[in-house]
């Protein structure tokens, strides 16, 4: 190794000795120059150089010189220290940051103490000296408040650089809402972007709230803990800084003497072990003085703003830690705390600090109207129309437009791809791939040696850029493991992964301390960009690594976006994501989104398997993205689907080449759809519906008749039509006419919660009369309002029908005359197997009339008479019927407490003495007679034929939302 020539070494020493440094910081380093040059070892030079470079204390050229082993160690250290001191002479505020470099290397930690101790012995120039905050005649709280106000007013947002490249300068106010007292409801709330903000708040019990009203309680008191949640990029950090600036300007909350912004990503917050550590000061005595003053007043008049608590390690919120003591109201009982967080971390806060939480607020970002206004500033009217059509056909991108940063991404990339006539991204992975490539290209254009490079991709970057890009991806990924670094990185953490060049993908910010500019931390431009880079790193790892990651994290909501990107980058990992183990495959909305992200029909088909029922029962608030992704999976899979969906927000479907259409919908329940929604859904290829055998329509009258008659439902066997509330159906006649003409072999017809007019009942009875032989028919008519004439016609048809095997007329009031007719019909009927009359108010007289008909009936297997005021006489008549009836196997009489002990005993005796056919008799628990427990009835008790049902809070046990099957008693 080359050694430093003696003459050159003395020359450098002479230069150092004669250098007229002005600042205390530079002079303190010069005093220990000889020891530094002598002590810093060869192996440590690159690490120290990288850390000083990351703190922006030395230039890139100096850092590269430090790593040049062809030059002697002593010469490189000499030049290195000279560069450090020259910088500190101009920027004395970097003194502590420079000392931190030595503190981080334990071998050189003593140098930090030695250099710092020299400060007091060096004469200082008042203009350039290190600022040390000390107590003044004002109180410590007041002194600290004055300082923070200056910081808030002087500082801009912590992010630097031209990011993001916004399409317009128009600022649109973000929507902020408050969640009502029932915090458990929060997990169920999901903003559907087709809703207006007013609709969303009404549907989810939320109220709009302004920053000025945030800390105002109804009783005039101050809240304890207020949680402000929002997804990444929604504006939580902006909100925090705006809050502090408004306070500093005297515009809001002047009842607080002190507002302290604590960013959870800052090192000093993470490493705090006592309360005074949270009141940043270079003077430890002053920090202690502020903490003592706060404790003396129990925190009264102090507001702490904990920004980004989801970025805090769990250990920092352990019992006994200063932040935990604050949130639990122990160390400062009267302090007010605002916490900002991503949604996934809110549940943890609720579980640990529930008693202290006064209010929860959600930042929603742009409403539908805001998005339109934002777009209007970015495009001409003609371009705006085209862009809105693009969003409608790509709901995945439309669904992220409410996030301001994402809105800028989508608009910019759309413009860029439209100008270059490239295929515009259609998935999140494609969007963020284009975004990252655009940022890299912008960086590369700033490097002269890459001047001729026009087109790049993340997989074909110039060699030095590719190396740094891979290192950044590793850094991004390692933060998610939570073993080494966090979401925000210090210079030393970045240096561990040799991230000396951030390629325009990261931003730097200064930690808020009493001297500012002491510590620089770095974060990716957007949290979702970090997730994309982490996924990119993982996608390049061996399959075993990817499989292990998915096995551990696939059910953790914190990793859902990373997994989405991973699947988009490498669809072959789909097989590692398991569906819940059940008789059928249950598909969640998250699965749908992952499958859509692949844009690979082959992988979708492979993931779902063949000839398998796939159940998809989402919430009734399915978004347009959910339904768009569902259409992609329907068409790409080779499966039989069982769907229950709301089509309210169905606005587009995936266009897939005909050769990829393989799926079949077997069972379909549609809830809440307009004519346009239905028309769009059934414009999917006819082959999807060709094997459908069950269709249920709820609250969707328009267009149903056309669907039934246009030849696409050639195998329909079960059909049900339902309203949510009792109402006259304007289209029921049309529906029934098309149904009976086009589908002559139905096995199930359901009409629920509607008025059935005489003309409609005539059509129904004609249909039953026109059929003979197989297949058998189930008629399900509960909770309707049926005209007397219509009901009489139905009962008359029952008498001679040869195909009607299951009839349910529950919750329809029957008069004595109608019950007499039904009794006659039952005595003549030769096909009916089950009869449902739950809640028909038949009473004792009605039970007697039915018993007369059932004495002669030899086909009925099941009878449901729950919730009817059947008395002792009615029970006696039914008991008498059971002594001669030889077909009935099930009789339900629960919720008929008027039967009493005597009536129950008559029924039990009939089973014990004469009836050997009835297998199940259900009676009210209140009616259990004392004699039933006697030894004389031991055999009947052990047989299990008798059940005493405890009355529950539910008045009905109906199945208005389900199809009946052809089992002997299908709906109990």
- Model confidence at 527: pLDDT above 70: yes
Angstrom distances, CA of residue 503 to CA of 233, 465, 471, 507: 21, 8, 11, 10
- How does pLDDT run across 672-688, given as a tens digit for each residue? 788 888 888 888 888 88
Q: What angle do CA 512, 515, 521 make, to 5 degrees?
A: 40
Task: Give the per-residue pLDDT at 654.
Answer: 77
Quick one: average pLDDT of 552-567? 85
For residue 518, name the pLDDT band (cuts at 50, 70, 90): very low
- Model confidence at 175: pLDDT above 60: no
- How does pLDDT run across 724-756, given as a tens digit for each residue? 665 555 567 778 888 888 888 889 999 888 888
Angstrom distances, CA of residue 404 to CA of 173, 174, 183: 10, 9, 26
Task: Give the per-residue pLDDT at 725.
Answer: 62
Quick one: average pLDDT of 604-629? 74
Query: What is the separation, in whole angstroms, between the first and last Cα of the chain?
Result: 90
**In whole angstroms, what is the distance from residue 707 CA to residue 684 CA?**
12
Task: Give the per-residue pLDDT at 452.
Answer: 66
For residue 869, name the pLDDT band (cuts at 50, 70, 90): very high
Quick one: average pLDDT of 623-647? 84
- Helix, strand, coil percentages, rounded to 5, for the chain: 50, 15, 40
The distance from CA 939 to its chain's CA centroid, rounded to whole angstroms, is 57
Which helix (H) or strand (E) covers residue 351, if one does? helix 346-353
Q: Which residue has the higher pLDDT, 701 or 599?
A: 599
Angstrom distances, CA of residue 166 to CA of 169, 173, 530: 7, 16, 20
- How does pLDDT run across 225-244, given as a tens digit for each residue? 888 888 777 778 878 888 88
Quick one: average pLDDT of 363-390? 83
Percent of the chain with pLDDT over 70: 79
Residue 639, C-beta contacts closer than 8 angstroms, at least 6 positions apart = 585, 608, 609, 610, 611, 612, 613, 614, 663, 664
Max CA separation in the chain (angstroms)? 127
The distance from CA 724 to its chain's CA centroid, rounded to whole angstroms, is 28
Quick one: average pLDDT of 302-328? 85
- Model confidence at 764: pLDDT above 60: yes
Least trusted range by pLDDT, from 55-59, 518-522, 876-880: 518-522
**In whole angstroms, what is the distance from residue 854 CA to residue 877 CA?**
11
For residue 189, name the pLDDT band (cuts at 50, 70, 90): very low
Task: State the CB neighbour count (10 A cutoff) for residue 707.
Answer: 22
Quick one: average pLDDT of 480-490? 58
- Model confidence at 154: pLDDT above 70: no
- Given a contact cutoff of 8 angstroms between Cβ atoms, the answer to whether 806 and 833 are in contact is yes
Buried b (16+ CB within 10 A) or exposed e, 651-690: bbbbebeeebbbbbbbbbbbbebeeebbebbbebeeebbe
Task: Give the per-residue pLDDT at 203.
Answer: 61
- Model confidence at 194: pLDDT above 50: no
- Model confidence at 873: pLDDT above 90: yes
Long-range contacts of 616-620, Cβ-Cβ distance < 8 Å, separation of 24 or more: 616/586, 616/587, 616/592, 616/641, 616/642, 616/643, 616/644, 616/645, 617/586, 617/643, 617/644, 618/588, 618/589, 618/644, 618/645, 618/646, 619/188, 619/190, 620/646, 620/671, 620/672
Task: Give the per-residue pLDDT at 967.
Answer: 37
Q: Partners of 163 in the beta sheet?
A: none
- Given a contact cutoff of 8 angstroms between Cβ atoms, the answer to whether 375 and 367 are in contact is no
Task: Give the per-residue pLDDT at 566.
Answer: 93
- pTM, whole model, 2 decimals? 0.64
- How does pLDDT run across 5-43, given as a tens digit for each residue? 444 444 555 455 455 677 888 888 888 888 888 888 887
- Model confidence at 871: pLDDT above 80: yes
Q: Which residue has the higher pLDDT, 219 or 477?
A: 477
**In whole angstroms, what is the distance from residue 139 CA to residue 707 CA?**
78
Task: Give the per-residue pLDDT at 6.
Answer: 41
Quick one: average pLDDT of 641-656? 81
Which is it for strands 506-510 and 489-490: parallel, antiparallel or unpaired?
A: unpaired
């Amino acid at each position: 190794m080359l050694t430093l020539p003696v003459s050159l070494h003395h020359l450098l020493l002479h230069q150092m000795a004669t250098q007229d440094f002005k600042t205390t910081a530079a002079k303190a380093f010069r005093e220990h120059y000889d020891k530094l040059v002598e002590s810093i070892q060869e192996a440590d030079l690159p690490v120290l150089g990288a850390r000083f470079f990351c703190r922006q204390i030395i230039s890139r050229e100096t850092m590269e010189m430090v790593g040049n082993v062809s030059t002697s160690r002593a010469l490189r250290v000499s030049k290195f220290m000279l560069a450090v001191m020259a910088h500190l002479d101009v920027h004395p505020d970097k003194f502590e940051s420079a000392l931190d470099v030595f503190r981080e290397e334990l071998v050189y930690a003593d140098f930090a103490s030695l250099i710092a101790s020299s400060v007091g012995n060096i004469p200082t120039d008042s203009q350039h000296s290190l600022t040390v905050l000390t107590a003044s005649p004002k109180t410590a709280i007041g002194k600290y408040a004055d300082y923070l106000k200056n910081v808030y007013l002087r500082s801009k947002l912590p992010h630097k650089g031209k990011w993001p490249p916004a399409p317009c300068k128009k600022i649109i106010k973000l929507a902020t809402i408050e969640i009502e007292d029932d915090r458990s409801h929060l997990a169920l709330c999901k903003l559907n972007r087709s809703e207006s903000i007013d609709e969303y708040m009404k549907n989810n019990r939320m109220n709009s709230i302004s920053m000025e009203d945030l800390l105002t309680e109804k009783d005039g008191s101050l809240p304890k803990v207020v949680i402000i949640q929002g997804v990444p990029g929604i504006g939580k950090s902006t909100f925090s800084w705006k809050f502090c600036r408004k306070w500093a300007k005297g515009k809001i909350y002047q009842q607080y003497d002190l507002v302290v912004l604590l960013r959870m990503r800052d090192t000093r917050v993470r490493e705090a072990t006592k309360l005074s550590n949270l009141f940043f000061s270079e003077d430890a005595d002053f920090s202690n003085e502020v903490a003592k003053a706060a404790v003396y007043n129990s925190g009264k008049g102090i507001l702490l703003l904990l920004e980004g608590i989801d970025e805090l390690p769990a250990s920092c919120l352990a019992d006994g830690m200063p932040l935990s003591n604050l949130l639990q109201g122990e160390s400062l009982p009267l302090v007010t705390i605002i916490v900002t967080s991503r949604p996934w971390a809110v549940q943890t806060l609720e579980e640990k600090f529930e008693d202290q939480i006064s209010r929860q607020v959600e930042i929603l970002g742009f409403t539908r109207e805001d998005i339109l206004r934002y777009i209007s500033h970015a495009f001409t009217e003609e371009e705006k129309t085209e862009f809105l059509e693009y969003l409608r056909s790509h709901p995945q991108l439309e669904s992220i437009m409410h996030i301001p940063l994402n809105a800028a991404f989508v608009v910019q990339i759309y413009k860029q791809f439209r100008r270059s006539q490239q295929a515009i991204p259609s998935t999140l992975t494609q969007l963020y791939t284009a975004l990252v490539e655009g940022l890299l290209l912008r960086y590369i254009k700033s490097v002269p040696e890459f001047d001729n490079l026009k087109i790049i991709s993340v997989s074909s970057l110039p060699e030095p850029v590719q190396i740094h890009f891979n290192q950044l991806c590793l850094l991004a990924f390692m933060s998610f493991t939570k073993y080494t670094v966090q979401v925000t990185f210090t210079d030393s953490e970045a240096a561990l992964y040799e991230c000396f060049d951030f390629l325009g993908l990261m931003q730097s910010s200064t930690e808020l301390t009493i001297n500012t500019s002491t510590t620089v931390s770095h974060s990716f431009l957007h949290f979702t960009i970090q997730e994309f880079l982490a996924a990119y790193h993982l996608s390049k790892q061996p399959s075993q690594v990817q499989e292990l990651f998915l096995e551990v994290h696939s059910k953790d909501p914190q990793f859902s976006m990373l997994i989405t990107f991973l699947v988009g980058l490498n669809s072959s990992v789909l097989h590692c994501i398991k569906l819940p183990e059940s008789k059928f495959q249950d598909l969640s909305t998250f699965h749908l989104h992952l499958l859509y992200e692949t844009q690979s029909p082959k992988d979708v088909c492979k993931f779902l398997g063949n000839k398998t029922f796939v159940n998809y029962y989402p919430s009734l608030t399915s978004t347009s993205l959910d339904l768009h992704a569902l259409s992609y999976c329907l068409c790409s899979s080779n499966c039989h689907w069982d769907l229950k969906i709301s089509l309210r927000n169905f606005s587009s479907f995936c266009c897939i080449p005909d050769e990829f259409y393989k799926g079949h919908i077997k069972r379909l329940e549609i809830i809440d759809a307009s004519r346009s929604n239905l028309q769009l859904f059934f414009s999917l290829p006819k082959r999807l519906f060709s094997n459908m055998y069950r269709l249920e329509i709820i609250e969707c009258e328009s267009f149903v008749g056309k669907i039934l008659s246009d030849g696409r439902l050639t195998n329909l066997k079960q059909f049900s039509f339902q309203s949510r509330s009792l109402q006259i159906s304007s289209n029921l006649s049309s529906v029934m006419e098309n149904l009976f003409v086009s589908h002559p072999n139905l096995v199930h017809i359901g009409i629920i919660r509607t008025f059935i007019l005489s003309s409609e009942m005539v059509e129904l009875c004609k249909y039953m009369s026109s059929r003979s032989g197989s297949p058998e028919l189930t008629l399900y008519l509960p909770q309707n309002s049926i005209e007397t004439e219509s009901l009489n016609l139905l009962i008359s048809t029952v008498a001679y029908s040869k195909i009607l095997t299951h009839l349910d007329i529950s919750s329809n009031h029957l008069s004595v005359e109608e019950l007499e007719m039904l009794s006659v019909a039952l005595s003549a009927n030769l096909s009916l197997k089950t009869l449902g009359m739950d809640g028909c108010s038949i009473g004792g007289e009605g039970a007697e009339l039915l018993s007369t008909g059932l004495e002669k009936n030899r086909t009925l297997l099941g009878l449901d008479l729950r919730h009817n005021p059947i008395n002792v006489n009615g029970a006696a008549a039914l008991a008498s019927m059971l002594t001669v009836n030889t077909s009935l196997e099930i009789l339900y009489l629960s919720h008929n407490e008027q039967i009493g002990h005597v009536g129950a005993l008559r029924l039990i005796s009939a089973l014990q003495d004469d009836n050997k056919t009835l297998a199940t008799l259900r009676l009210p628990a209140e009616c259990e007679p004392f004699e039933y427990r006697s030894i004389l009835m031991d055999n009947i008790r052990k047989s299990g034929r008798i059940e005493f049902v405890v009355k529950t809070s539910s008045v009905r046990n109906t199945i208005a939302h389900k199809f009946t099957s052809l089992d002997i008693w299908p709906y109990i």
